[in-house]
Structure 1
Amino acid sequence: MNTMTDTAALAAAEPAAPAFRDELLAAGLLIDTGENGLYGRSQVFEDVVERLNVAIAHLGADQQPEVLRFPPAMRRTDFEDSEYLKSFPNLAGTIHSFCGNDMGHQRLLRALDDAMIESDDDRSEEWMAQQKPTRVVLTPAACYPIYPVMARRGPLPADGRTIDVLSYCFRHEPSLDPGRMQMFRQREYVRLGSAEQVMAFRQMWVERGSLLITLLQLPVEVDLANDPFFGRGGKIVADSQRAQALKFELLIPVADPRGKTACLSFNYHMDHFGAIWKIACEDGAVAHTGCVGFGMERITLALFRHHGLDVNAWPDDVRALLWGDTEARVAQGMASMQAASAVSVEGAGDSA
């Protein structure tokens, strides 16, 4: 699971967020829908997102991931099995629909007519009494739909599986901070396998994620983090998550230069999802899972915050990475990173 939190900076980021939000709206990069955290995106904004997606694809190409794409909704029973509601009931989004007869339809229309007499914020919700839950819910994290799919395939191969997944996700947390959207995209690489395979995968992506942000000429800070678990018992779970170092986030100032927003998240779930869906390794052991999540809108917002609202004025190397030979630039960065790592290891060996 990838739940980006930026908990430490939330209180500090909110006051200054409207200023940056207003700049984005005035420039036409985001489109106001009248609902906090729900925005349209301009062609320029979407172009940056797509260019980032290309760079991320090259960054993980050598892992030969299986590419899967799902709609931003998942089966309700899978959602229930995930235990998301135990931890984040306040963030979940369900999908309701009219399932009644002609009489129910007439009641709905009368209630709707009465509601529409009032202004937006004062409208009655009585018409929604005619709605019933459907068998689908909004996807809270891009990786959630893949676990039941993997379980149905049977035991994992000896080298496990790596999945590349991208989806719109929903979190019910309306905010004036443009970095806290209610509907947003996550690009994830998800690893399923042994504990050793998953831990190595996470460390690799801490390095590669940091490389991408460095190539984008954005500030890089990776720190221990926890998910925003709900309720009185949530603090205990969050403290445990930190104590076990299960989650790290890459933080970048976005809405407020004094605060930081989680733009990438590196997560080790241990055998949580493997146990829920009975995903087995080749030897029959319960599979461990982990993921790296890229907040596509958040990284894009960080680029606009640090390089300006005019993409044509962005630094030449950033433009070359996104609109030039992306594959070559990423490969060059990877080679430099690996060379530096080799020198570091050799130096450590000499000192020993």
Structure 2
Amino acid sequence: MRSGGALVPTPVPGVHLSTGAFESVVHGLAAALGTLEPDGVQRLRTPPVIAREIIEKVGYHRNFPHLLGRVYTRTSTGTPIESDLVLLPAGCYCVYPLFADTALAATTERSVEATCFRQEADAEVGRLRSFRMRELVRLGTAENCLGWRDDRLAAAQQMLADMGLRTESAVAGDPFFGSGGRMMRALQQERKLKIELLAEVGPGQTQAVASGNYHVDQFGRLFAITGPDGAVAHTACLALGYERLALALLHRHGPDPSRWPEHVRKLLTLERP
């Protein structure tokens, strides 16, 4: 499905080619969103794959078997076998193993750009099977991770407002804890572990364009990470989807970025027409 001519459909549902205008917006978003990072933070770029062992360790294969993209290859005799790699479903999964069996001396943060894959069941506007995202990941104590999540989410919402995007925040079930039943989902929502920013990405079509996630000590326990207070480390992340944000901007301001409001063009460092 097209969205203002920004994405060119392929024969495969949920897989698109992007135009030059679309990519200029994505590149502008990558630069603008970088201002949400603290000075000197280490920036990482992930490959589109991750060790299957890590995904199995965090339980993604069990909680979301329908979304996981598995990789198969063949032995030298031609026998098909499952690879030790899977397609990366979220960028932050690459960060936690870096600190496995580590005692953090201080609160730690990383910035990750990732190409991700999820085997989505439909192909509505914004629900791509292959997509890019920026994630800021925080490791530390419970207090500084939760407060950081709220602060960075508010900063992101303000930045999107400056770009002319109208967003609404909504509490959602946190996928890091599995799909679960109604009771688990209600508990997740009561604790506000996951807060999404929703925006229109097409006519009558609303998607989450960003989310702030507080994982409690889930990944600290799984990877034996100790926080600076000596307790199991807590983690949080801010995730922003490049394609969905670009679609939202094109829907809001029109298909030609050269005609967008000057202050938006300046924020995205788009060239003058």
- Fold match by TM threshold 0.5: yes
Task: Give the structure 2 partner of residue 310 of structure 1.
Answer: 256
Q: In structure 1, what is the Cα distance between the partners aligned to 2:76 and 2:121?
A: 31
For residues 55 and 76 of structure 1, what CA distance do their matches in structure 2 show?
A: 33
Aligned to 1:146: 95
Percent of aligned positions with the same letter in both sequences? 37
Aligned to 1:12: none
State the partner residue of 1:268: 214
Q: How does 1:204-283 map to 2 (within 5 A)?
A: 204-227=151-174, 233-257=180-204, 259-283=205-229
Q: Which has the higher strand share?
A: 2
Q: Which residue of 1 aligns with 2:64?
A: 88
Letter in 2 for 1:150: F
CA distances 1:61-92 after superposition (whole Å, capped 9, x unpaired)? 44x32212220111111111011123212111
Q: Map 1:334-349 to 2 at 5 A.
A: none
Which structure dedicates a bigger proportion of its chain to helix? 1
CA positional deviation for 1:237: 2.4
> Residue 234 of structure 2 aligns with which residue?
288
Give the counterpart letter for 2:104 in structure 1. Answer: L
Q: Confirm or deny that 1:22 pairs with 2:2.
A: yes
Letter in 2 for 1:91: L
**Residue of structure 2 aligned with 1:44, choices 9, 16, 21:** 21
Q: Distance in 1 between matches of 2:229 and 2:159?
A: 35
1:199 matched to which residue of 2? 146
Task: Return the letter of the residue paired with 1:46.
Answer: E
Q: CA RMSD in A?
A: 1.9
**Post-superposition offset of 1:220:** 2.0
- Structure 1 position 156 matched with structure 2 position 104: yes
Tell me if the contact between 2:3 and 2:251 (Cα under 8 Å) persists in the aligned partners.
no
For 1:176 and 1:197, locate their aligned partners in 2 and report how far apart those are by CA, in whole Å. 38
Long gaps (5+) in structure 2: none
Structure 1 runs of 4+ with >2 Å offset: 21-24, 227-231, 233-237
Match of 1:179 among 114, 126, 133: 126
Q: Which amino acid aligns with 1:172?
A: Q
In 1, Cα distance between the equivalents of 2:105 and 2:25?
A: 36
Change (3 A) 1:293 1:139: same
Deviation at 1:324, TM superposition (A): 6.2
Distance 1:311 1:234 in 2: 43
Q: Name the counterpart of 1:299.
A: 245
Residues 324 and 260 of structure 1, relative CA distance in 2, 3 Å threshold = closer
1:239-272: CA deviations, max 9, x gaps?
2210111010111012333x42100100000000
> Aligned with 2:153: secondary structure?
helix
Distance of aligned partners of 1:38 and 1:78 in 2 relative to their CA distance in 1, 3 Å threshold: same
Paired residue for 1:133, among 82, 99, 102?
Answer: 82
Distance 2:247 2:89 in 1: 21
Aligned length: 270
Q: Residues 304 and 95 from structure 1, CA distance in 2 versus in 1: closer, same or farther, beyond 3 angstroms?
A: same
Is residue 174–residue 182 contact of structure 1 (8 Å, CA) maintained in 2?
no
Equivalent residue of 1:35, what SS?
A: coil
AA matched with 2:68 = A
Shift of residue 40, structure 1, vs aligned partner: 1.6
Question: What is the one-letter code of the residue matched to 1:90?
Answer: H
Please give the alpha-carbon distance, in whole angstroms, between the structure 2 residues aligned to 1:238 and 1:252: 23
State the alpha-carbon separation in 1 of the partners of residues 206 and 3 from structure 2: 19
